[in-house]
Structure 1
Amino acid sequence: MANILVVDDELGIRDLLCDILNDEGHTVELAENAAQARAARHRERPDLVLLDIWMPDTDGVTLLKEWSATGALTMPVIMMSGHATIDTAVEATRIGALAFLEKPITLQKLLKAVEQGLARGSPRKQAAPLPGLMSPRVDSLIKVSEIVGVNHEAVADLGPQSTQNFMLDKPLREGRDEYEKAYFEFHLTKENGSMTRVAEKTGLERTHLYRKLKQLGVNLSRTKRN
């Protein structure tokens, strides 16, 4: 199994992640600040790092930049935070972070992110297109969808014609809303307007789904097939 470094200033979170990852058979090294993280990264050469953004001495994004600038970012890094903005998450992924987990972190999301991180390997390997991607534009949409919590596997389902309509030079929030609206309209049409099936497909509760569709201005009547 893997050697994983967990960097977080909260003792409870460090202990929780350590217990979960140990149960999965991984070896876990703990650090409560950037100084300890630097030492552990040099000493242990971890296969994966779970890095908190907000820390008292040096924040996680700054530490990520440091590793990237010095050539020390040779392992996948997954950022964690309960208060970070989307802009912060996007900045972290541009620097080289593999993914972003929002606290409180669910067991399923944690294990999936760790599995994908270990499978992906070092950040240099991430530059190669993932299987099934149709273009660099779709690749960019998938990275953004991972950050905002959208099921990125459905991006490819939208097809080349749909992805061409997304302009990546727009403000992030505008581009994200545009993608999400097309994403939900696609699944509503595919499921003949069935909110139950769309909720299951997208992994959202029905109440959350209704609220999301209203926020995006999705016309439910137009998504039903005649």
Structure 2
Amino acid sequence: MANILVVDDEMGIRELLSEILGDEGHVVTAAENAQQAREFRQSGVPDLVLLDIWMPDTDGVTLLKEWQRDGLLTMPVIMMSGHATIDTAVEATRIGALNFLEKPIALQKLLKAVQQGLSQASKTARAPTLYTQPAAAANELVDTVINAAAFSNSIQSEPAHIAVQPSAASSSENVFSSSFGLPLREARDAFERSYFEYHLIRENGSMTRVAEKTGLERTHLYRKLKQLGVDPGKLSKKGG
């Protein structure tokens, strides 16, 4: 477990990164601007910082320069941006940034960069731990439509796993038997709701593992669950 500081002025990005990294077992502190990041850094040294470049008060490169100037750049920093030029990325790396991630950030690229950053952090002495704030669920992100064939394929390839979760399996059977008389749209929603509930219960509410099992990007998965009215928190308790 590592202490990670996420600095980004976009609430959706902060919440999404907090949820992903929290699922990986890390403790995440979120700052919405450079001033909050300064305050968090004064209270302790995180194991890793994910720092947005474009922010309204002080941009990430300027904050990086401040930390370097004041001798506070003692932790790995990964820069993030959806609009940065190559020159900006090179400048940040020259100042001391470990890596650069372009938005929208792919899940595997994020996890790989974080792992590399934490490997770098483990080589240095660790200072007092940051105080934290709870991670929130991401919302209002990218829309998506799931292909119903994915559920059929998972049933065919994992029959043994379905038997392990009798409550989820019986629930699915009830949905199948009761949805044929519904209009197509409503039947499809019931079908998809049962599909996601099954995976959430089986994976104890881990959004990272459910995303891998269902073949969806996490942003798509969050949007779909909200659309269907599925609460991952409640289902994780059932799975436990």
TM-score range, shorter chain: 0.5 to 0.7
**SS across alignment from 1:88:** helix
Structure 1 unaligned residues grouped into runs of 5+: 126-226
- Encode CA deviations 1:19-66: one digit per residue, 9 max, x unaligned: 000000000000000000001112242100000000000000000000
Partner of 1:121: 121
Pairing 1:46–2:46 present: yes
Partner of 1:93: 93
CA contact (8 A) 1:74 1:123 kept: no
Partner of 1:181: none
Normalised by the size of structure 2, how large is the TM-score? 0.51
Whole-angstrom CA distance in 1 between matches of 2:104 and 2:123: 25
Partner of 1:67: 67
RMSD: 1.6
**SS across alignment from 2:22:** helix
Partner of 1:151: none
**SS across alignment from 1:71:** coil
Partner of 1:32: 32
Partner of 1:138: none
Q: One-letter code of the match for 2:55? A: M
Q: Matches of residues 138-157 of structure 1 in structure 2 within 5 Å?
A: none
Q: One-letter code of the match for 2:95? A: I
CA contact (8 A) 1:76 1:123 kept: no
Q: One-letter code of the match for 1:37? A: A
Pairing 1:6–2:6 present: yes
- Encode CA deviations 1:92-137: one digit per residue, 9 max, x unaligned: 0000000000000010000000000000128989xxxxxxxxxxxx
Q: Which runs of 4+ in 1 moved over 6 A?
A: 122-125
Whole-angstrom CA distance in 2 between matches of 1:63 and 1:123: 23
Whole-angstrom CA distance in 2 between matches of 1:123 and 1:113: 16
CA contact (8 A) 1:74 1:122 kept: no
**SS across alignment from 2:49:** strand
Structure 2 unaligned residues grouped into runs of 5+: 126-240
Identity of aligned residues (%): 78
CA gap 1:6/1:121 in 2 versus in 1, 3 angstroms = same
Normalised by the size of structure 1, how large is the TM-score? 0.54
**SS across alignment from 1:57:** coil
Deviating more after overlay: 115-124 vs 12-21: 115-124
Partner of 1:76: 76
- Greater Rg over alpha carbons, structure: 2
- Encode CA deviations 1:128-184: one digit per residue, 9 max, x unaligned: xxxxxxxxxxxxxxxxxxxxxxxxxxxxxxxxxxxxxxxxxxxxxxxxxxxxxxxxx
Whole-angstrom CA distance in 1 between matches of 2:73 and 2:67: 5
CA gap 1:12/1:101 in 2 versus in 1, 3 angstroms = same
